[in-house]
Amino acid sequence: MKIDFSKNPDGLVPAIIQDANTKNVLMLGYMNEEALKTTKETQKVTFFSRSKQRLWTKGEESGNYLNLVDIKMDCDADTLLVLARPEGPTCHKGTDTCWGESNEQTFGFLSQLEGIIEERRLESERDSSSRRNDQSYVVSLFDKGINKIAQKVGEEAVETVIEAKDTNDELFLNESADLLFHLLILLKAKGFGLNDVVKVLQSRH
């Protein structure tokens, strides 16, 4: 890796810090050649502080270090993408990121779907007499309770296995989608989410 520190008069290049697990952007700092070298040697992300005019290791005062995982260089060799694992909040204001956002792992559309399922669960907990007769399928499942939801997961699992042994890919994918959908409902019914399952898988890795 050969970074071009000469492009800027101060010898600094931007360093974008990204959580190696969640892929969320945590902060933006600046590194000079010495800061990059120190980061690699100590495995703790280190910047050049423009306000202090010295090297500054993130967490040297707070203990909220950024543990180095990998460093990537952009196509122009003048910007760094630093993958790290944070110890505690990254921002000095106490938030996970310097944009005030949560650093929870998200899964794109699946996270959006989880949010909708959670809304339906909360709707189910309200007084059923105040709900419309044309309530959603998910609300009706939550109304019937954990046994019915678990039963549906079992049914969809069997149907997925049956289609896996056949040659109709479309039916197999549809049954797989049904299985995943009902599993997300079961997780919510048990007070968990997809992220909890991912954490278990990561711990086994």
pTM: 0.70
Radius of gyration of the CA atoms of the chain, in A: 24
Q: Which residues contact 198 (CB under 8 A, 6 or more apart)?
A: 105
- What tens digit of pLDDT does each residue of 157-203 get? 999 999 999 999 999 999 999 999 999 999 999 999 999 999 899 89
Domains of the chain, residue spans:
13-86, 109-203
Superfamily of domain 109-203: MazG-like (1.10.287.1080)
- What tens digit of pLDDT does each residue of 19-55 get? 999 999 999 999 999 999 999 999 999 999 999 999 9
Q: The CATH number of 13-86 is which of 3.40.640.10, 3.40.50.970, 3.10.20.810, 3.10.28.10?
A: 3.10.20.810
13-86 against 109-203: fold identical: no
> Collapsing DSSP states into helix, strand and coil, what is residue 117?
helix
Q: Which residues contact 10 (CB under 8 A, 6 or more apart)?
A: 32, 50
